[in-house]
Each structure stands twice: as C-alpha cells, then as structure tokens.
C-alpha cells in the first residue's frame, strides 16, 4: 500500500494528452456556442468544428463528409450495423466469436428484424479461422463485423483478407478499430472495409466522442431524429471541444500502412521494446503464461497472461487485479467494458481455453507515460502478490 500506481491499462482508457486538455479548455472559452447558429459566436464554433473535422479526415486519408462524429465506439458500432442493415433485405450477419460486447449487442438486435446471427470461430490464439471464410460468406450473409484487433488477448485479425472477400461478394463489412487506432493511424481505404469505428479516449483523447468512418456510397439510416447534424445521421448539437480534442490526439499518433506493415508501430517508439522486455521478465515467474497470439501477431503494447498458483491451480483474475492495484499496478482482467461480470471470459471460451482457466486472465497494456525504470518495478510487485496466495 502507498506505492505509486503504475498504469498498465491502456486498452481500457488512456490519460488525455496535455495538448488535448489545453485545446479543449481554450475552445470551451472561445468556441462554446452552438455551431449551427449564424451569429459570430456560432460561426466561431462552426469554424473550430470544421477545422477539427478536416484534420481528422486527413489522418485517415478520407473526405470530411466520410466522418460521422458520435459519442464513442459503442454508438458508432450500433449506427454502423443497424444503420447499414436498414437498407438491406434481412439475411445473415456474421460476427467473430471474440467481438466487443457492443458489436454482439448490435448484431443480436437485428434478430428482431428478421436477421440471423452467425459467429465466426477463432483458433486457440483468438484469430478467426480463415478455413471458414467461404462457408460464412456464402448466402444469405449480407453483413460482416470483424474487429481489427481483439482487446482482451491482443490478437490482430486478418481484416484486409476478409474485406477483400466481402467486396467480391457484395457483402458490407464493418471493423471495430477501437484497439488498433491507438497504435497508429492508417489510410482508411487500405483496410478495405466499408465502415470503421473508434473511440477517442483509447488514444489519449477525451471520453464521450468517437467516429464512424464510411466508404463512399455506403448507405446508412440514422438511429435517431433531430436537427440533422452529421449529414443527417447523428442529430444533436456537436461537442466542438471534444471533437477538437480528438483531432489533437490523432495528431500525436504515428502513421503506418496496414497492407505492408500489418502490425502497427505502437503509440511511441519505445512501446514494443518495453512490452517485450517486461514480458520476458514476467514469464520468468512460473505462475504466469502468455495467452493469445505470439508477439508477431499481437498489438505492440499488449500482454495477456493466464495465472496459476504455486501448486498449479488457476487464480481468479478479478482478485488478482485488486491485489495488484493495492501493490501499485493498475491492470485488467478480461475486457474492461465487461469487467463487472464474474462469469467466464467469452473470448477465452471461444479460444478453447479450459474452463478452470477462463477466469484467470490478466491484461497489461502499456502507454508512453511509463518509463523503463517504472516498468522495472512491475515483475517484483507481481512476485510479491503471487507469493501471498496460499
């Protein structure tokens, strides 16, 4: 107790950049008006909003009219799936077995509209099985949602290959890039999807704002009516300061091409090295085992572990998270967005992890706020916590 907290939970949320806070504070003072108003204060807000929109569009190589600002990835996912399905005849929607709960919820809402839902199975590393591609993309599949990077075990998914197959078959494909974008921006068209969603708070931007990016010609129907903002797809007065904070956070991310570099570079140059060094030291503890894909197929800041006691019994991840927090290490067990649940991890279940181990997962995700010296303290704190178990 009393040790300084080392925050290793970047996949859950990230501390906002000082530049983001500064931009937002300045705009709350100078551009607080409604950007739809035609007076001077409104025009100042509208100008700030459009500057942020164009800056954001530039980071993904798209037109500003391809962006729909939302409250975050959960809303974006629902607009992407429900909004695109509204213009299609009911058929089958395919989602991976390791999707975020928001994708699962949106997909199963379509059942009430006559759609069927199929889950794309994954292998033991959490990656979708491409040997199932032809079967799952056959009729009556009309809509696919495949996460770009799985948040719990860090698995990078073959989105480009699946997107190409969907395009050939006229299937609309959405990808949740909430965990991918924080490790680098990329040209939207290089991923090949029709719809892409993300949240700003995952890459050191503000909470309460996110994006849906759509390819030209992809039809969407709004989920709510109102003033017709965001091209009539997301009514409501735009949060100028939040959108500008998101644009500022995107400026700080590196760029990469997902075709030539399928593993993103990481939010800072030292991230991959720090992750690799930390993992090497953690795996010296016999109670810890790497879970998910090898480092070559994983997000560059991500470590997923399965934990057991000295006598080989799986240890409860939620209890470990509390004990590690008391020891000054902030991390997660399972998906942070589903952390209130004490049931087995859905992702680990889909991966075929034996039942006793499905609640023993830990996730450590690094950020550029961590120094080498701080990370050097993590294995010792782990060893202390694990040694306290009977």
C-alpha to C-alpha distance for 22 and 27, rounded to whole angstroms: 9
Q: Please indicate whether residue 337 is annotated as part of the active site.
A: yes
Pairing type for strands 210-214 and 195-199 reads antiparallel
Print the SS3 string covering the chain: CCCCCEECECCCCCCCCHHHHHHHHHHHHHCCCCCCCCCHHHHHHHHHHHHHHHHHHHHHCCCHHHEEEECCHHHHHHHHHHHHHCCCCCCEEEEECCCCHHHHHHHHHHHHHCCEEEEECECCCCCECHHHHHHHCCCCEEEEECCCECCCCCEECCHHHHHHHHHHHCCEEEEECCCCHHHCECCHHHHCCCEEEEEHHHHCCCCCCEEEEECCCCCCCCCCCCCCCCCCCCCCCCCHHHHHHHHHHHHCCCECCCCCCCCCCCCCCCHHHHHHHHHHHHCCCCCEEECCCCHHHECCCEEEEEEECCCCCECCHHHHHHHHHHCCEECECCCHHHCCCCCCCHHHHHCCCCHHHCCCEEEEECCCCCCHHHHHCHHHHHHHHHHCCC
C-alpha to C-alpha distance for 338 and 153, rounded to whole angstroms: 14
Catalytic residue among 55, 166, 185, 337: 337
In the sheet where 92-96 sits, what is the strand order? 67-70, 210-214, 195-199, 172-176, 141-145, 92-96, 116-120
C-alpha to C-alpha distance for 331 and 5, rounded to whole angstroms: 10
So which residues are the catalytic ones? Answer: 337
């Amino acid at each position: 107790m009393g040790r300084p907290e080392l925050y290793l939970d970047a996949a859950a949320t990230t501390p906002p950049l000082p530049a983001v806070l500064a931009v937002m504070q300045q705009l709350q003072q100078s551009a607080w008006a409604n950007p739809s108003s035609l007076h001077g204060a409104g025009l100042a807000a509208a100008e700030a909003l459009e500057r942020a929109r164009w800056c954001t569009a530039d980071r993904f190589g798209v037109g500003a009219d391809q962006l729909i600002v939302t409250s975050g990835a959960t809303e974006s996912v629902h607009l992407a799936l429900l909004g695109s399905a509204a213009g299609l005849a009911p058929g089958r929607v395919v989602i991976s077995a390791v999707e975020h709960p928001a994708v699962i919820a949106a997909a199963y809402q379509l059942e009430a509209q006559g759609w069927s839902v199929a889950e794309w199975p994954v292998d033991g590393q959490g990656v979708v099985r491409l040997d199932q591609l032809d079967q799952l993309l056959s009729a009556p599949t009309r809509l696919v949602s495949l996460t770009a990077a799985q948040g719990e075990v860090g698995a990078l998914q073959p989105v480009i290959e699946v997107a190409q197959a969907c395009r050939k078959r006229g299937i609309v494909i959405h990808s949740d890039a909430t965990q991918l974008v924080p490790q680098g921006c990329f040209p939207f068209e290089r991923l090949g999807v029709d719809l892409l969603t993300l949240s700003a708070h995952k890459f050191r931007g503000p909470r309460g704002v996110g994006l849906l990016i759509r390819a030209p010609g992809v039809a969407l129907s709004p989920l709510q009516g109102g003033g017709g903002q965001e091209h009539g797809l997301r009514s409501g007065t735009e949060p100028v300061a939040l959108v500008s904070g998101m644009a500022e956070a995107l400026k700080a991310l590196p760029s990469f091409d997902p075709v030539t570099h399928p593993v993103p570079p990481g939010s800072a140059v030292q991230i991959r090295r720090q992750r690799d060094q930390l993992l090497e030291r953690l795996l010296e503890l016999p109670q810890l085992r790497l879970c998910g894909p090898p480092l070559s197929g994983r997000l560059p800041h991500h470590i997923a572990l399965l934990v057991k006691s000295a006598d080989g019994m799986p240890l409860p991840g939620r209890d470990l998270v509390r004990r590690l927090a008391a020891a000054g290490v902030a991390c997660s067990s399972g998906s942070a967005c589903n952390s209130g649940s004490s049931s087995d991890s859905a992702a680990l279940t889909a991966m075929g992890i034996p039942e006793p181990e499905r609640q023993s997962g830990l996730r450590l995700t690094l950020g550029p706020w961590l120094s080498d010296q701080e990370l050097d303290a993590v294995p010792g704190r782990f060893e202390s916590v694990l040694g306290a178990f009977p």
